[in-house]
Structure 1
Amino acid sequence: MLKVKNALALISEAAKSWYSSNPFQFSAIIAYYAILSLPALMIIIFNIVGAIWGRDIVQGEILGEISRAIGRETAESIRMMLVDQGNEKTSVFATVVGIGTLIYGSTGVFFQLQTAFDRIWESKQTQTNEILVVIYSRLKSFGFILIIGFLLLISFVLTSLLNTFSKRLHRFLPR
């Protein structure tokens, strides 16, 4: 049975353990990678969802959310990056290097998050080949990006269905 005396000891032990795992360093690393990988994440998700749902619709929705969150000027700058991206003719080598860099940058935040959790929870690696561990972690991270794109697609579908239903409901019900 959990008593107040036991709960305070449990909270105290959890706080000591949390602080000893150096959480501020991990949060700074993850924030750094999140900021650096955000443009790459946006481009990948924009292209994945845009290929299925339509680039104009996805661009309007994403930029509308960005505009509401951080301002119209920033959203306009991001729109210019997304619109201008891919309009120039480039060599095959430059395209491959660009896509590789984009994927590497976008998976960085998930990779660092996994590394931080492994250190905090003191988990041991089962594989001895470090290169395979990094490749597997990056592939898992890219899978997370694909899942985020899929969830964004589902969100767009549900939002459009709800908007359509709402418009039809407004026609039949007086205010």
Structure 2
Amino acid sequence: MNLTPLAERFVLHFGEMGSRWGVNRTVGQIYAYLFISPAPRNADDIVEALGVSRSNVSMGLKELQSWRLVKLVHQAGDRRDYFETPKDVWEIFRTLAEEKRKREIEPTLSFLRDALMDAPLDEDERHAQARMKEMHELIDLANGWFDDVQSLSPETLEGLMRMGSRVSRVLEFANQLRGAGRGRG
């Protein structure tokens, strides 16, 4: 597949963004190429389209597989491995969010839990632990919310996202109703 100017811009952009997201440029480019490809691609296709080395492609594909962002597929009569991204963008979004949580959020929560178990040595450590406890509670709350969001159907999640700031007005209204209910009594 020769890259059209639009496809090339997309692939190059994802390469640039990959470095900001914690993966190298080639991994970002491989992902973008597979994402826009109309059919699964093998490593030779990727090497040819992107002009990168075979070893970089192999390492990039392994990294993308470890993130569960590409999957291996086989084609009848062909012994080569082919790769594709999930078709559903919501599945990609959920997978990426799950992997980020597994790699970034869970280790932080684990560290904070361990740090909060230590007996503070002095007032400075008591203060530090109090701040860490606040952080732990916030991250734990967000983690629980993430679990709830992960269980929503793509249609419900999309609707929630499209509501944007209107969600806060609904919550403010609900809080007012709760407050009015407490006043009666």
TM-score normalised to structure 1 length? 0.31
- The structure whose residues are more often strand, as a share, is 2
TM-score normalised to structure 2 length? 0.30
